[in-house]
Amino acid sequence: MNLIVTTAQQTLPSIIQQAKDIADKLAVPFVPRNHYSLAALKEKYELNELIVVTTTGPIVHTPAGEYFFHLSMAELRIKNLLNGNHDHMVTAMGLMPDMSVLDCTLGLATDAIVASFVIGEKGMIIGLESSPVITLITSYGLQNFTLDSEPYITKALRRVKVENADYSDQLAALPDNSFDVVYFDPMFRDPILKSSNVNPIRTLANMQPVTPEAISQACRVAKQKVVVKEAAGSSEFARLGMNTTVGGKYSSINYGIIECKPKMAGGGQP
């Protein structure tokens, strides 16, 4: 990985230690900040990206902007649900309290936080993310970000379990019927650049398309549904064998759904 970890110019010994730990975890160099500007560090080490550990958490500086953990639309979506409004993702997944969800493409965890809120304390949600840097930022935020005014949102964050893994490997290793819902939100084939909250992670993210094999494994692993988010009208839905899509009439996003049945031992259907 062509990356270094540093800190702000004036900082605490505990932050320097945290930066060293992050560098170790990512197997990249820790570079003391000293008097260097970030531009000077980028030039000196010929980098496109670097991580600056601050008192409010790690920040990745990418060519597309700064990337750090934030709630994005999760807070608004949860408040909308509490006000009795509809959330297309929640409807597509058929989410109810106590359900289990495997989010194969965790990213910034906005969708996972909304799902975590709906399935509640007795539900289970695991998010998979193949990019080590995105995993770092998202896990840090899920464990440390606190919304004092809305403790139920903080609790929803803490319940999302994160694994730095490729979903193809994980799905292949999971038993049948392991989760109620398996969810994919891949980097869109035709990105919606102007409105996308994923722009800052574009250079860090895994850009591979979802394969029919992954969908087939997901159908084996899911008891109820496999759901894929894509741009409305995308040919990805047909390519992945998804005939049912839901989404707002004027929304640029749709959710493709495959209904799954619980699998019986021996490979049959009940």
Ligand X SMILES: C[S@@+](CC[C@H](N)C(=O)[O-])C[C@H]1O[C@@H](n2cnc3c(N)ncnc32)[C@H](O)[C@@H]1O
The footprint of ligand X (CB under 6 A) covers 104-105, 107-111, 128-131, 134, 166-168, 185-187, 198, 201, 205-206, 208
Distances (CA, A) of 65 to 58, 60, 72, 132, 229: 14, 8, 15, 18, 24
Q: How far is the CB of 244 from ligand X (least distance, A)?
A: 20
Token pair recorded at residue 4: 């270094």
> Which of 37/208 has CB closer to ligand X?
208
CB 233 within 8 A of CB 254: yes
- Asked if 4 and 36 touch (Cβ cutoff 8 Å), the reply is no
Q: Minimum distance between the CB of residue 174 and ligand X, rounded to whole angstroms?
A: 13
What residue is closest to ligand X based on CB?
107
The distance of closest approach from Cβ of residue 156 to ligand X in the complex, given in angstroms and rounded to an integer, is: 13
Q: Produce one character per residue of 132-146: b if its CB has 16 or more CB atoms within 10 Å, e if not.
A: ebbbbbbbbbbeebe
Q: Is the Cβ of residue 201 or residue 242 nearer to ligand X in the bound state?
A: 201
Nearer to ligand X by Cβ, of 41 and 136: the residue is 136
CA–CA separation, 83 and 135 (whole Å): 31
Of the two residues 33 and 180, which places its CB atom closer to ligand X in the complex? 180
CA torsion, ordered 189, 194, 195, 198, to nearest 10 deg: 60
DSSP of 81-115: HHTT---HHHHHHT--TT-EEEES--TT-HHHHHH
Nearer to ligand X, 41 or 205 (CB): 205
Q: How far is the CB of 106 from ligand X (least distance, A)?
A: 6
- What is the nearest approach in angstroms of ligand X to the Cβ of residue 90? 13
- Which is closer to ligand X, CB of 55 or CB of 208? 208
CB of 133 to ligand X, least distance (A): 9
